[in-house]
């Protein structure tokens, strides 16, 4: 039942609104709303019960192993939430003076410093509200850099074919043309192809390393040299930073700009799809273009630098300072890890991935890149199972839900057929990984003996498999007061 | 090892299974020259107890001045239930609901949110949120340019009475796509954006869209009906920028003019999201049914399962970057799910009557504030246009030092309009939401009077 | 799986303990523990996931209609929790001086005043930690009163046979002998029997009104007169105060002492069985004996009165001030209700109970007291169903769980066979009550057509029906490190 | 109407179904003369927003002095996860788990708690909690008297070195049952309860039980082995009163003497429960296996369901008041479920190693505190017996005004022992848990030194 279906005219959570004012200034008729908006009218208990029960219909890190590749579903420490939600932080208006935000700004400044150190980048801005905004900012800085030099012929951004969809989309949003680079059979970028495509038209290249196929790009030195020699810049998509945190620094690999997904590597909440935060780090030559605001430390204290103090900045990406509360959570997490904790993240994320990789391949599952070391994630292809048993990667994924595991990422990257992209993260136990291996083996057995069981999975969730085609064809995107479809 | 469960025995077993000797061997494909040294610039790790002490001290240090500023972020009551439920692990630590069957909680909630936003804006479709109001407006404009097949000109008219931070964000986000943002002047007397100024900005040339904030940054109500009709008659789309709380009482964008605005957007912040120095907030974006395929961001649809029971899933994903890549409607990948969770619970707790009461209380409190401050010689409304729950005031002495003195007394007295509108002289924008008490308002007026009197006779 | 079963030697939630001290004072060998206590060794994520999932196995008010008679399972406002957990309240040490507790003491003082007004009692102590402790305190005051007068022959406490078990148990704890009074066929106390049993040996009578059979004791004036004339005092068991809150005051009915169950009438959390709080209110003659501490308002501020200032007090019931955090929650709730909200509680609790009563009796269920007005709760007896269909009240109760409703109280009061004591509370909607009626009708249909379905219910919960006999015969009360019974 | 969902239409429909005209008609069985008038002494209802403002102001007003007091309530770090999970609606708003199948969450958690407490105390059985440590001790003594079939004397020996508030609580709760509480003196030099004093208190007569606090109120460790053996040799039961944090390092009651204490109890507060002015806390109670049927309070047992799978339910309910009424082991009806929920999560997060670290840090910090304060002329330990993490100190000037001056500086400097032990002169009991920093300790010492010096030369 939708909350709207529980609504009854005149019902109210009466403790939640102020008493009606005794006098009210005039509001001219032409500005007034004629009919009340059809918002739900429910009691406080109804709302609490409805959303508490709704929450129970979710899988989540706090309730299930969630090996969703590329998403780094590791434990989100509860302390990060509690400390970011301290009343002193929550009550501060974004336009309050810096003097009334020294506590906050100290955290943000120190977070900038931590990010500089761990990425090897000399300058950082925390402004981007998500990874994709970080990408936009990064590419916009590349554009600003070339433009400032009068180098206006650079209209192309190179992107590997395995890249996240955000890479080409962000490049286009910045006005660039996208040129794809193929991935070799070993998972590395095809450097010969890169050399063909690079040239005076090249503004830069966007790379994820480890790449989306779950391996470290071994030719990174050659790639960097090739692109730099052609006058292009290197963009590091930090989506997979968890794999190398504190072990290898993007700045040391030759990247000019990087974004970090804090909801991945820095364990901020995924929140059902957000909020993220996508801080960017840059080399010295891109520093003038960093998005605002940036926190500066002066003798008088911390202050926020804006467009005024940073006139060459690519500008402002959101109205205020970005997803501050998420930055605070990342700060708390980074301080709890400390310098010694950062490389451990990469080490144990990689340990868990390689252990799972080994156990699954030993159990007879086919790896997409069997001769490569897994990074923090790896790809299994179920093309044989799909062909021989008629049970697809999606069927395996749905059946895993019945076993109490969230599914890995399916059908990404697009270049591997029937694939599962599996990322266990460092916060899961060996026992949990072993249970997952056993479940996959059992599902393969089921696929052999009772394939319908797998094809029609899940069976134990609040709904059975949903008709996505119907969803797109017969669009039903909102409850309507007049509709009679309140049966859900 | 915080957050890492491995015992020494686990690690040894796992390394043996993999067939390597040490953890470091797992990184053997990485060129040796690239390996990082010790991260000396990062302090050693702290137990939760220690970081908690530090954060508590810092949060306390920031103080909690009494807030009379709105200007795009509003200090509203948030029911205790909102964040107690939104922070439940099942909402807090779930990802984007790719596996619909295991994410019906988030999906249904997003569907309910979409339903609430369409109810508020009077438009047919809402997405599941964008980063914030300002970046959401940028997405709305990109969408309008894509959607407006009748006008190929990439020109958009943007009132100067739109929030300055929103205007700056537009410059960052849409200018690189060859879109021209044309400012529209406001009327110095009313604070409104007059039709004549819009016509002048258009300069007789085609334009793709007109941005219409209601109320505008000065808290003044625009003549949205006339402006909408005129712009649509020129073949342009109208993009309303609205505060959802005000929509409890103000005509929704869907009702503007003869056919309604085409797109509406704004920030969800006033609906259950703490001020929190500016984020995370969430942007909302609504549009006419026929524009849905140009919509950026996530959309949740209701469909049926194998048994014919209703359920929810992400839909029209073919618009999105993970499918369409370079041809996507936007590069956006996340929504602001956690904030939308809070906002949805918040709206369910308020309901239509509760939201109207909040809006009324804000208007009444701001009126009281303006009355009290207006009793001080030299202070008067800057504009004579109709307002909702914010008001620009002219001051008899320079605003900046006055606001500084007030904050030293624990009062965030207003937004200094001179920062972005130097032509307005000494003027501030004030707001008193439903959480401000009569005592607080009177106290503010008394202090302001003393501060101004201490500066001598007003000019 | 128990958390103990997830334990692995050497695993730790490392962020949760301090660094080991560099020097440690000597601890003589003879005092030292030889083996570490077998506490679970798990990661932070394991603990969070374990207890989050465990919580999902509970029914609760926040997730289900919970019409457990006599327990007043109404909505526990979330604001009460948030405001009682404010850091300023939580951080205060119980031995901090009153000057550093003026905010707290103001709340407690005002709560005392609110309780005086709504019970009609001139003096109140908030000290008892639960209803049963309130009963003990109440009876102890009765005892102290008689003793102070040298009236030492009063050794008996009268208790109706339908009373809560705590009543006789509390009387015994105070050293009294318990004499039962029968309940008449109409649910009222048998006044003739009372008159027989009352006398110079009578210290007092303990009454719940409305009584545990869900009706208002119509003879209350006669009972009060009878007991008072005999020199006894009247004790009001406030378990059912929700039914008459603000409509009738125990003080006006002639009671000398009352306890309130704050987790019932004042909506403090039930918490899986506690904490409760059992403030007591008394008439002037019992005031000298009130348990300490009590909050007093003076010109210098609020202060706590202890044994020192109240030498005739029955004393202290817990080490410090009782369940303060629960009192704060009750205070917040009482202030949100206000003077106008209190009688509404009784009105709508009674409306819901009588509506449900009517609908169920119209549907053919048998009421235990069909001719009486229901108070906030009422009794249905399923003796006919038990006899004719072989399906008991317990079976109905268990089957209700499958329908998503918590069961009413079963087999209490003991004097009605196969009974369900049903208390819907004022915070439930008409729709919820209608759904409950429909479920009971469906279950009765099932009892006729597929009785096994009902007898073996529940079918959809984490466990099926549990073997309580085995639990008591083969006592297994704790996990042991050496046991191999970790299969749960 | 806060918290009441009824619309006017609902109410009308329901009244019609019932067959009455008004809500007031539902009270027609109540004698008219008894009906209450308006409750003028109670203020009108407040919206959540207003009561929140009031409570926030009051909580702030109470300040947060730096706490150097233990004395039965300890300022420990509580992981953020503890209360975020304990406050989940499914734990927070569930009742006593009478319907076991619908309460497996609470039941399993209570079983885990019982398991943790038996592990800590070294005894076989734990109940699911009592109100607090002091009232729990009273229940333990009633239990001991019932259980001790060899000794019919209702005499119990209680050290004066037991927490004074516990002794007062015992007087209230057990004296009315004809039980005589006989005080045992402590040694003025060591602060311990010597065997000789115990013998003297016993006076050669039989007694049912001996209470043994470890550490005692002064923080001093008692010679529990010798005392336990002696008391049991007299036919008495030994009831240990212990702080669960100290059990990470101290010999558990189950190991005291030759056969172990018979019963152990104490307060769960140090395990995840905030100080909160004294409550709600929770008492724990453990005992030997053969005493289980004399145990008061809830007990959760593991059993099997119809399918043979393990599950949990309340067991041995025949001991309890709702079954046995006047013959029950206690009138107790509730446990402190919510606090036990927090404590169980807390212990799971700490584990055995974490708890040991907490205990060690408390000992180290208190040692540092005693060292620093001991450098001030005239301050010295009051007793020379071995201590754990609290210490009694002799002061050179009167304690009460000194503590008052300290609190004005934001320091809760200690518990004034003179309040309950006038014979000890000017002395305080101090404690520094793991949350106290070296800076805080040094700052306290510096301030105390200044305050004492300002009072002139110590005598």
Domain boundary among D301, D318, D344: D344
Do both D204 and D144 map to the same domain? yes
Q: Looking at residue D331, what is its pLDDT? A: 82
D195 is a domain residue: yes
As a whole number of angstroms, the distance between CA D459 and CA D127 comes to 51
Q: B277 in a domain, yes or no?
A: yes
> Is residue D403 one of the residues assigned to a domain?
yes
- Is B352's CB within 8 Å of A37's CB? yes
D290 pLDDT higher than 60: yes
Which tokens sit at B16?
């043996």
Residue B125 has pLDDT above 60, yes or no: yes
Q: What is the pLDDT along chain A (488 residues), one digit of tens a residue?
A: 999 999 999 999 999 999 999 999 999 999 999 999 999 999 999 999 999 999 999 999 999 999 999 999 999 999 999 999 999 999 999 999 999 999 999 999 999 999 999 999 999 999 999 999 999 999 999 999 999 999 999 999 999 998 888 899 899 989 999 999 999 999 999 999 999 999 999 999 999 999 999 999 999 999 999 999 999 999 999 999 999 999 999 999 999 999 999 999 999 999 999 999 999 999 999 999 999 999 999 999 999 999 999 999 999 999 999 999 999 999 999 999 999 999 999 999 999 999 999 999 999 999 999 999 999 999 999 999 999 999 999 999 999 999 999 999 999 888 899 999 999 999 999 999 999 999 999 999 999 999 999 999 999 999 999 999 999 999 999 999 864 443 33
Please answer whether residues C41 and C8 qualify as being in contact, where contact means their C-beta atoms are separated by less than 8 angstroms: yes
Query: CA–CA distance from C272 to each of A283, C380, D50, D107, D317 (Å)?
Result: 57, 26, 30, 9, 16
**CA–CA distance, C419 with C405 (Å, rounded to integer):** 17
- In sequence order, what DSSP letters do the residues of C356-414 get, joined into one string? HHHHHHHTTPEESSTTSPP-S-EEEE-HHHHHHHS--HHHHHHHHHHTTBPPPEES-ST
D120-170 confidence digits (pLDDT tens): 999 999 999 999 999 999 999 999 999 998 988 899 999 999 999 999 999
- Please check whether residues D333 and D356 belong to one and the same domain: no
**How many Å apart are CA C390 and CA C455, to the nearest integer?**
9
Does D304 share its domain with D357?
no
- Let me know whether B228 and B301 are in one domain: yes
In whole angstroms, give the CA distance from residue B178 to residue B175: 6
Q: Please give the share of chain D, as a percent, with pLDDT higher than 90.
A: 91
pLDDT score for A381: 97
Q: Are residues B268 and B317 in the same domain?
A: yes
Residue D55 included in any domain: no
Residue C158: C-alpha distances to residues C193, C206, C207, C236 (Å): 11, 6, 9, 12
Q: Which among C6, C8, C14, C88 is the top mutation candidate for probing chain B, defined by the most B β-carbons within 10 Å of its own β-carbon?
A: C14
Q: What is the pLDDT of residues D176-231, one digit of tens each?
A: 788 999 999 999 999 999 999 999 999 999 999 999 999 999 999 999 999 999 99
Q: What is the CATH number of the domain that holds B398?
A: 3.90.1150.10
- What integer is the mean pLDDT of D41-53? 97
Q: How far is C19 from chain B (nearest CA, A)?
A: 8
D56 in a structural domain: no
Cα of C102 vs its chain's centroid, Å: 29
B-to-C residue pairs, Cβ atoms closer than 8 angstroms:
56
**Residue the block writes with tokens 């509709």:** A483
Same domain, B382 and B339: no
Domain boundary among D274, D309, D344: D344
Nearest CA among C345, C261, C65 for reference residue D26 = C345
Q: How far is C270 from chain A (nearest CA, A)?
A: 15
Domains held by chain D: number = 2
Residue C481 is predicted with a pLDDT of 83
Contact across the interface for A10 and D80, Cβ inside 8 Å? no
Q: What pLDDT is attached to residue A488?
A: 35
Residue D93 covered by a domain: yes
B368 and B312 belong to one structural domain: no
Secondary structure (3-state) at B66: strand
SS3 at position C260: strand
Which of D344, D374, D390 corresponds to the end of one domain?
A: D344
- Asked whether the beta carbons of residue B3 and residue C15 sit closer than 8 angstroms, the reply is yes
Measured distance CA(D106)–CA(D93) in Å, rounded? 11
Q: Verify whether the Cβ–Cβ distance A11 to D49 is below 8 Å.
A: no
Nearest-Cα residue of chain D relative to residue B354: D47
Q: Can you tell me whether residue D62 is helix, strand or coil? A: coil
Mean pLDDT of chain B, nearest integer: 95
pLDDT tens per residue, range A417-471? 999 999 999 999 999 999 999 999 999 999 999 999 999 999 999 999 999 999 9
* pLDDT score, position A180: 94
Residue C49 sits at the chain A interface (C-beta within 8 Å): yes
Return residues 78-97 of A near C (CB < 8 Å).
78-79
pLDDT band at B65 (very low <50, low <70, confident <90, very high): very high
Euclidean distance between CA atoms D243 and D121, whole angstroms: 10
> In CATH, what number is assigned to the domain containing residue D120?
3.40.640.10
Q: Do A466 and B101 touch (CB under 8 A)?
A: yes
HSE of D311 in the Cβ direction (CA atoms, 13 Å)? 26
Q: Residue D382: what pLDDT?
A: 97
* Per-residue pLDDT, B369: 98
How many other C-beta atoms lie within 10 A of the C-beta of residue D339?
Answer: 30
d(CA C25, CA C37): 21
Residues of chain C with pLDDT under 50: 483-488
pLDDT score, position D360 = 97
ipTM value for the complex: 0.97
- Judge if D118 and D214 occupy the same domain: yes
Residue B295 belongs to domain spanning? 80-344
pLDDT of B333 > 80? The answer is no
Residue of D19, D52, D62, D304 to mutate, interface with C, max C Cβ within 10 Å = D62
**Are D250 and D384 within one domain?**
no
Q: Which residues pair with C303 in a beta bridge?
A: C296
Chain C residues touching A44 at Cβ < 8 A: 75, 77
Task: Tell me which residue has tokens 């006098």.
Answer: A23
Do D288 and D264 share a domain, yes or no?
Answer: yes
Task: Identify the chains in contact with C, defined as 3+ C-beta pairs within 8 A.
Answer: A, B, D
Give chain A positions within 8 Å (CB) of D80: 77-79, 81-83
Q: Do B368 and B291 share a structural domain?
A: no
Tell me: do B423 and B438 sit in the same domain: yes
Greatest CA span in chain C, whole angstroms? 77
Q: What totals of helices (H) and strands (E) does chain A contain, helices first?
A: 15, 13
Nearest Cβ partner for C49 among A62, A77, A336: A62
Give the pLDDT score at D457.
60
- Cis peptide, bond prior to residue A295, ω within 30 of zero: no
Domain contains D41: no
Tokens of A485: 């479809």
Domains of chain C, CATH where assigned: 79-337 (3.40.640.10), 340-462 (3.90.1150.10)
The Cα of B294 is separated from the nearest Cα of chain A by a number of Å equal to 14
pLDDT digits (tens, 9 = 90+) for A39-83: 999 999 999 999 999 999 999 999 999 999 999 999 999 999 999
Domain-embedded: residue B22: no
């Amino acid at each position: 039942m939708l909350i709207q279906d529980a609504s009854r005219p005149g019902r109210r959570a009466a403790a939640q609104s102020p008493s009606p004012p005794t006098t009210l200034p005039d509001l001219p008729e032409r500005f007034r709303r004629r009919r009340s908006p059809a918002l739900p009218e429910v009691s406080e208990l109804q709302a609490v019960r409805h959303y508490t029960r709704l929450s129970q219909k979710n899988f989540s890190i706090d309730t299930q192993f969630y090996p969703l590749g590329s998403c780094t579903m590791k434990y989100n420490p509860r302390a990060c939430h509690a400390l970011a939600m301290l009343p002193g932080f929550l009550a501060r208006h974004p336009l309050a003076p810096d003097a009334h935000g020294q506590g906050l700004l100290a955290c943000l400044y120190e977070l900038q410093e931590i990010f500089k150190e761990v990425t090897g980048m000399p300058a950082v801005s925390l402004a981007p509200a998500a990874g994709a905004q970080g990408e936009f900012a990064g590419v916009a800085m590349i554009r600003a850099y070339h433009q400032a030099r009068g180098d206006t012929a650079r209209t192309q951004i190179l992107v590997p074919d395995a890249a996240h969809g955000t890479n080409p989309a962000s490049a286009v949003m910045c006005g660039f043309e996208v040129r794809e680079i193929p991935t070799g059979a070993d998972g590395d970028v095809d450097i010969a192809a890169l050399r063909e495509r690079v040239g005076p038209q090249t503004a830069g290249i966007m790379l994820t390393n480890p790449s989306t196929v779950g391996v470290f790009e071994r030719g990174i030195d050659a790639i960097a040299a090739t692109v730099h020699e052609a006058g292009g810049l290197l963009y590091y998509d930090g989506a997979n930073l968890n794999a190398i945190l504190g072990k290898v620094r993007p700045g040391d690999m030759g990247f000019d700009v990087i974004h970090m997904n804090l909801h991945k590597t820095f364990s901020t909440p995924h929140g059902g799809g957000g909020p993220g935060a996508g801080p960017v780090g840059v080399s010295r030559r891109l520093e003038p273009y960093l998005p605002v605001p940036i926190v500066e430390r002066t003798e008088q204290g911390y202050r926020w630098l804006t467009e005024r103090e940073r006139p060459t900045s690519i500008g402002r990406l959101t109205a205020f300072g970005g997803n501050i509360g998420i930055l605070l959570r990342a700060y708390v997490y980074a301080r709890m890890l400390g310098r010694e904790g950062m490389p451990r993240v990469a080490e144990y994320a990689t340990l868990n991935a390689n252990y799972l990789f080994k156990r699954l391949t030993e159990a007879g599952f086919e790896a997409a890149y069997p001769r490569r070391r897994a990074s923090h994630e790896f790809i299994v292809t179920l093309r044989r199972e799909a062909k021989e048993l008629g049970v697809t990667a999606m069927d395996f994924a749905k059946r895993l839900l019945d076993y109490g595991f969230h599914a890995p990422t399916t059908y990404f990257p697009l270049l591997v057929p029937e694939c599962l992209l599996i990322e266990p993260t460092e916060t899961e136990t060996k026992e949990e990984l072993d249970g997952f291996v056993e479940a996959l083996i059992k599902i393969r057995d089921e696929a052999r003996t009772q394939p319908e069981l797998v094809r029609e999975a899940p069976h134990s969730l609040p709904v059975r498999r949903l008709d996505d085609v119907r969803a797109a064809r017969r669009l039903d995107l909102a409850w309507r007061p007049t509709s009679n479809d309140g049966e859900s | 090892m915080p957050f890492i469960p491995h015992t020494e025995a686990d690690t040894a077993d796992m390394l043996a299974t993999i067939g390597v000797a040490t953890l470091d061997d797992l990184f053997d494909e990485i060129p040796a020259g690239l390996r990082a040294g010790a991260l000396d610039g990062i302090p050693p790790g702290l137990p939760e107890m220690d970081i908690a002490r530090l954060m508590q001290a810092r949060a306390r240090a920031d103080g909690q001045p009494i807030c009379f500023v709105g200007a795009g972020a509003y200090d509203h009551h948030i029911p205790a239930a909102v964040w107690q439920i939104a922070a439940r692990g099942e909402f807090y630590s779930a990802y984007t609901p790719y596996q619909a069957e295991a994410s019906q909680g988030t999906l249904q909630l997003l569907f309910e949110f979409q339903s609430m936003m369409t109810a508020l804006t009077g438009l047919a479709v809402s997405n599941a949120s964008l980063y914030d109001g300002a970046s959401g407006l940028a997405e709305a404009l990109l969408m309008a340019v894509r959607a407006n097949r009748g006008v190929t000109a990439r020109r958009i008219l943007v009132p100067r009475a739109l929030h300055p931070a929103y205007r700056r964000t537009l410059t960052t986000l849409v200018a690189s796509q060859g879109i021209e943002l044309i400012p529209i002047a406001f009327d110095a007397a009313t604070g409104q954006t007059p039709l004549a100024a819009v016509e002048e900005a258009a300069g007789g040339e085609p334009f793709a869209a007109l941005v219409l904030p209601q109320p505008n940054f000065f808290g003044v109500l625009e003549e949205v009906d006339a402006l909408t009709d005129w712009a649509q008659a020129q073949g342009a789309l109208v993009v309303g920028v609205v505060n959802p709380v005000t929509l409890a009482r103000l005509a929704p964008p869907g009702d503007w003019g003869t056919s309604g605005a085409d797109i509406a957007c704004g920030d969800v912040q006033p609906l259950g999201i703490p001020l929190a120095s500016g984020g995370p907030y969430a942007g909302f974006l609504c549009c006419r049914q026929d524009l849905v395929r140009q919509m950026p961001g996530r959309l949740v649809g209701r469909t049926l399962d194998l048994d014919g029971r209703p359920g929810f899933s992400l839909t029209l994903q073919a618009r999105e970057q993970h499918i369409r890549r370079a041809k996507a409607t936007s590069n956006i990948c996340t929504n602001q799910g956690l904030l939308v969770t809070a906002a949805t619970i918040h709206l369910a707790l308020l309901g239509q009557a509760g939201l109207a009461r909040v809006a009324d209380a804000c208007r009444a409190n701001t009126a009281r504030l303006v009355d009290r401050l207006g009793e001080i010689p030299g202070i008067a409304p800057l504009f004579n246009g109709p307002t909702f729950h914010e008001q620009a005031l002219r001051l008899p002495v320079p605003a900046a030092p006055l606001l500084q003195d007030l904050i030293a007394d624990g009062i965030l007295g207003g937004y200094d309009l001179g920062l972005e509108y130097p032509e307005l002289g000494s003027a501030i924008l004030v707001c008193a939401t439903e959480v401000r008490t009569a005592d607080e308002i009177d106290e503010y007026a008394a202090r302001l009077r003393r501060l101004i009197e201490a500066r001598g006779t007003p000019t």
